[in-house]
């Protein structure tokens, strides 16, 4: 045997086995098996080759092929698992991001979560190896189909959301202007009712998150406007009512208390329909109650003063009547004495010894009769006074 040629042939086959090992480590299995076939042919055709070299090289060759076969089977199994895992993720991507209502109808698509998951799956196509080309192409096509369908739905819903946002913004704007122009409770209640209806629609209409959040901020801004407008109207009503109540209180303390009572009644009537809050109403009631109590207290004092003055006047009048009656009684006694004197003088006149004396007696009688007439006139005046005073006392 030609030892030199045998060693050269062994070296040649060994070099080819090294190339085969390199192809195996690079997982270039198509090239690997083509080259392995060539090496197997070399073992048949190349001669001479020492037995120990043949056995050594064949053992190395067989080991590499066996290892490659196991690696291929392992990679095939891993590729299948990778494909199955991506398949499962695609099923989840297709089915798990749509909320449904109790009747099974789609009510909301969680697009943000969908696209986050889609991005993760896209990365899986880059990182999951091995993955057979036919599986990669099939799964990638399915992935793109799912994404395109969701993108189409998302665009449709985005357009629907845009229209709903425009409608709801218009309704909220109407409520805002209604609140801004309100001057009483009824007008403000209309704005609140508009807000309630808009809130119902805001919950029911399909809206993207950014549209819903923008509308919700606008809705709260309008609600804040209604709140402060309500406060403004109540404060304005309160100040007018407080001015009226304060005027009644001032009249109760410093003016006519009877007028104060009428002012309190009028303020209370006006208070029934006024739009103010509970604390403001309580404060006004306190002011009016103070005014009423002060007015009634002053009226009581006035009545007591009038009663006291009346009693003093009555007492004075009764004293006058008593004095006038005493004067009349004395006057009557005086008249009686004058009449007795006249009777005696008439007897003297009748028995007068001289005409001169009789004339003089007659003069005395006439003087006394004139005096009686004067006294009777005085009695008449006293009696008229007594009648007039008693008439006043009896009223």
Q: What is the pLDDT of residue 101?
A: 52
pTM listed for this prediction: 0.56
Q: What is the pLDDT of residue 100?
A: 63
H or E element that contains 100: strand 98-100
pLDDT, one tens digit per residue, over 146-161 is 999 999 988 998 899 9
Helix (H, G, I), strand (E, B) or coil at 328: helix
Q: What is the pLDDT of residue 292?
A: 96
pLDDT, one tens digit per residue, over 62-110 is 999 998 888 888 888 888 898 999 999 999 988 888 876 544 444 577 8
The arithmetic mean of pLDDT across residues 204-228, rounded, is 92
Cβ pair 208, 157 in contact under 8 A: yes
pLDDT, one tens digit per residue, over 354-383 is 889 888 999 999 999 999 999 999 999 999
Q: What is the pLDDT of residue 230?
A: 93
Domain ranges of the chain: 3-76, 91-163, 169-292, 312-394
Q: How many CB atoms lie within 10 A of CB 39?
A: 19
Phi first, then psi, for residue 181 (nearest 5°) are: -90, 5
Residue whose structure tokens are 């407008």: 229
Q: Which of 92, 80, 72 is nearest to 128 (CA)?
A: 80
Dist. CA 103–CA 32, nearest whole Å: 59
pLDDT, one tens digit per residue, over 331-361 is 999 999 998 999 998 888 888 888 898 889 9
Q: What is the pLDDT of residue 49?
A: 86
Q: What is the pLDDT of residue 106?
A: 46
Token readout for 130 is 């091995």
């Amino acid at each position: 045997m030609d030892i030199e040629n045998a060693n050269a042939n062994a070296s040649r086959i060994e070099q080819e086995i090294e190339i085969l090992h390199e192809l195996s480590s690079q997982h270039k299995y198509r090239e690997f098996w083509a080259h392995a076939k060539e090496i197997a042919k070399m073992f048949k055709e190349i001669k001479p080759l020492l037995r120990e070299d043949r056995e050594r090289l064949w053992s190395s060759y067989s080991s590499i092929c066996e290892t490659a076969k196991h690696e291929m089977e392992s990679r095939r199994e891993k590729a299948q698992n990778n494909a199955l895992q991506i398949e499962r993720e695609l099923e989840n991507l297709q089915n798990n991001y749509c909320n449904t209502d109790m009747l099974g109808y789609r009510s909301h698509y969680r697009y943000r979560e969908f696209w986050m998951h889609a991005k993760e799956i896209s990365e899986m196509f880059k990182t999951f190896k091995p993955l057979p080309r036919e599986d990669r192409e099939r799964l990638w096509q399915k992935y793109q189909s799912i994404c395109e369908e969701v993108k189409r739905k998302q665009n449709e819903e985005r357009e629907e959301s845009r229209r709903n946002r425009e409608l709801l913004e218009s309704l909220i704007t109407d409520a805002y202007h209604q609140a801004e122009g309100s001057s009483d409770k009824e007008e403000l209640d209309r704005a609140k009712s508009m807000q309630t209806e808009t809130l119902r629609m805001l919950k029911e209409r399909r809206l993207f998150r950014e549209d819903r959040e923008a509308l919700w901020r606008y809705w709260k801004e309008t609600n804040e406007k209604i709140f402060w407008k309500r406060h403004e109207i109540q404060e304005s009503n309160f100040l007018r009512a407080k001015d009226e109540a304060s005027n009644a209180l001032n009249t109760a303390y410093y003016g006519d208390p009877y007028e104060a009572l009428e002012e309190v009644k009028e303020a209370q009537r006006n208070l029934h329909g006024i739009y103010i809050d509970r604390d403001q109403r309580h404060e006004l009631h306190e002011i009016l109650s103070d005014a009423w109590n002060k007015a009634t207290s002053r009226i009581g004092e006035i009545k007591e003063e009038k009663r006291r003055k009346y009693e003093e006047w009555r007492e004075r009048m009764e004293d006058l009547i008593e004095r006038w009656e005493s004067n009349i009684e004395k006057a009557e006694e005086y008249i009686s004495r004058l009449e007795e004197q006249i009777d005696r003088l008439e007897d003297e006149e009748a028995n007068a010894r001289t005409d001169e004396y009789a004339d003089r007696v007659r003069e005395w009688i006439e003087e006394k009769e004139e005096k009686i007439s004067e006294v009777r006139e005085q009695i008449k005046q006293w009696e008229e006074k007594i009648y007039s005073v008693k008439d006043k006392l009896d009223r």
